[in-house]
A and B are shown apart, each in its own frame.
Chain A
Amino acid sequence: MSADSTSFSPSASAPAFRLAGSGFAYGDRVVLAPFSLDLTAGETVAILGASGCGKSTLLRLIAGLLLGQPSSLAGQVAWMAQQDLLLPWLTLFDNVLLGARLRGEVPDIARTQALLARLGLADRANAMPASLSGGMRQRAALARTLMEDRPLVLMDEPFSALDAITRAAMQELASEVLSHRAVLLVTHDPAEACRLADRIFVLSGAPAVLQQVAVLPPAAPRDPLSPPVLPVLRNVQAALQKAVNA
């Protein structure tokens, strides 16, 4: 395995991230071409692609999970995956505090309570994860992500295991609570990308190349079927289809 680590450069105006790397290979098989992606605070960028196209590899590379050495973004990143990854032996409250506990910090009880209340979990703080619905568990995972208070949030298909109604509610909630952060969202769902992202990229090819396919009008969350968004959704779907067929 070989790759350059991603780099991070705060700019003078808005805090920004330049996520760049020279690609990634498993042995001789190059799966990811060199890439460069700028993100400003408050911006959500979605990366679309067919399953197995390298989306997760890209995200894991940026998170520093692939190289066996800390990435230069270490300490700047919060991670939210498709599974809620709640520890079954801890209450929701303690799950939200996991990061502080692992770093040996003094837990901020008041902030944890405030976050749980904000996500509508105040009365379930002492519940064990197994006793909660999938939607509630994913909300707790979102609370844990926010508790980390990092400027860049990496999300790997965080809502794809939820049913349609819960997913829509979660997307709305996530869009609201993450509005001041830079968010990199990996998804396979063009409608989700149009609902949440300010810019949309498609990742495809071997080795996989990142290509911007759409810029959306401001103010997420959007209804992907509303008149200004619908043509963008069609374009994105067409671009994704083309990428898959190529």
Chain B
Amino acid sequence: MTNLLRPVLTACGLLLLWQGIVWGFDLPSYILPAPYRVALAFVDNAGLLLREATVTVIEMLLGLLFGCLLGAAAAICLLLSPTARRWLLPLLVASQAVPVFALAPLLVLWLGFGIASKVMMAVLVIFFPVAVALYDGLRRTETGWLDLARVMTADAPQHRLRILQHIRLMAALPAFASGLKIAAAVAPIGAVIGEWVGASAGLGFRMLQANARVQTDLMFAALILLAVCAVTLYVGVDAMTRRWLRWQADSHPSLLSPVKE
């Protein structure tokens, strides 16, 4: 009961504060629209906003999917091949020195105004945290388990992949889950930056349009919808990873689990 009430109370408090600022400083609605104006803008443009949100959500999900696949593949390559470690690892680290957002105009130039450049943008920001987290997890397998596996398989090379599958990858799941949660948190950033640089649809695109036309209330409505999408994505990924990791005893509550008194 209190667990449900608390976020509602917090939201009401924030709304009151917002309304209070609008009244107290007597702000014109093109600087800071009152909450009810934003709600009106949302209702008036519900169809439009939902269409734009669908585009942005698809960009985030595709970015998450391909970013994670690519990151996981890179981590496994790094683990299996010393050659990959020598050549790929420095490249990976150096690639993060280039501000990914600076690449956005290039991506739009190469991949067009459509969804591909946004997905690519999201992939670029997601790939690195996933690859690093999974690679760290894969490297830190408990050595006792690997010793046991080596004795059990008599160190035969044909069983190495199964050791990777049943022991190393499973043991790396908690680390992978951490990478995935960071990825879920940065996916909206990638998609929206991509939309800002050049797009014809999406919440980021709509915000920029509304801003240019001084439709600040619509901009706020799009912003709030974007926040809702981002939080839903994070909560979904968190719930999914917790399902995988039920075997892992938590010694501390997660960010999203209710705090017990």
A residues at B contact (CB < 8 Å): 60, 63-65, 69-70, 74-75, 77-79, 81, 83, 85, 87-89, 98-99, 101-104, 128, 130, 148, 154
Contact = CB atoms under 8 A, between A and B. Distances in A.
A78 B159 CA distance: 17
A103 B144 CA distance: 18
A70 B154 contact: yes
A130 B167 CA distance: 17
B125 to A, nearest CB: 30
Contacts of A99: 152-153
A89 B170 contact: yes
B155 A70 contact: yes
Contact of A102 (B142, B147, B149): B149
Given A79-B147, A81-B147, A102 B154 contact: no
Interface residues of B, number: 24
A63 B162 contact: no
B150 A65 contact: yes
Nearest to A94: B166
Contacts of B149: 98, 102
Contact of B145 (A64, A70, A74, A85): A85
Interface string B125-147: 00000000000000000101101
A60 B147 CA distance: 9
B152 A98 contact: yes
Contacts of B171: 87
A104 B247 contact: no
A64 B153 CA distance: 11
A148 B149 CA distance: 12
B249 interface: yes
Given A70-B154, A87-B167, A102-B152, A65 B247 contact: no
B151 A63 contact: yes
B156 interface: yes
22 contacts: A63-B147, A65-B151, A69-B155, A70-B154, A70-B156, A74-B155, A74-B156, A79-B147, A83-B144, A85-B142, A87-B167, A89-B247, A98-B148, A98-B149, A98-B152, A101-B162, A101-B166, A102-B162, A103-B153, A103-B162, A104-B159, A148-B152
